Amino acid sequence: MVKNTIDYLCKHPVDGFSAGLVDEKNIFEWNVTIIGPPDTLYEGGFFNAIMSFPQNYPNSPPTVRFTSDMWHPNVYSDGRVCISILHPPGDDPSGYELASERWTPVHTVESIMLSIISMLSGPNDESPANVEAAKEWREKRDEFKKKVSRCVRKSQEML
């Protein structure tokens, strides 16, 4: 399943991101580059991440972790992305998410990447992975913008 997906993406690229294997011998680890969406604070950035697929994919979701610096309410300080569709299927133990918002095997790499691009366009500060970034997003927007600008500049320098 994972091999078919990488083959498909190579033949049918999607705007906003690119993907490839970290190592040709391991189809479960991908390098992805997410292009900062136009008309957002992240515009102009090229943010690298690792997408790791579990052995039982597509029954369980992959994980996505930015390796580029990222300042965002829905990204943990270690770079892990926190969006509903990457949470295990079923009921949310904390009761915040509906089961229908969580992972289902119908999600694709494309739908995950588009969700991350959407996350960059509009942070969810009600359920933050990075509480400090969420607080800054709400209360000190200028400081938040400065930190994101630094991340964008740094991502451009890494090209």
| Active site residue ranges | 82
Closest by CA position to 99, among listed 108, 117, 111, 87: 87
- The three-class DSSP label of residue 17 is strand
Buried/exposed code over 14-32 (b: 16+ C-beta within 10 A; e: otherwise): eebbbbeeeeeeebbebeb
Strand partners, 33: 18, 48
Instruction: Please say whether the beta carbons of 30 and 20 come within 8 A.
Output: yes
Instruction: Please say whether the beta carbons of 34 and 17 come within 8 A.
Output: yes
Closest by CA position to 37, among listed 134, 111, 114, 108: 114
HSE-up (13 A, CA, CB side) for residue 116: 32
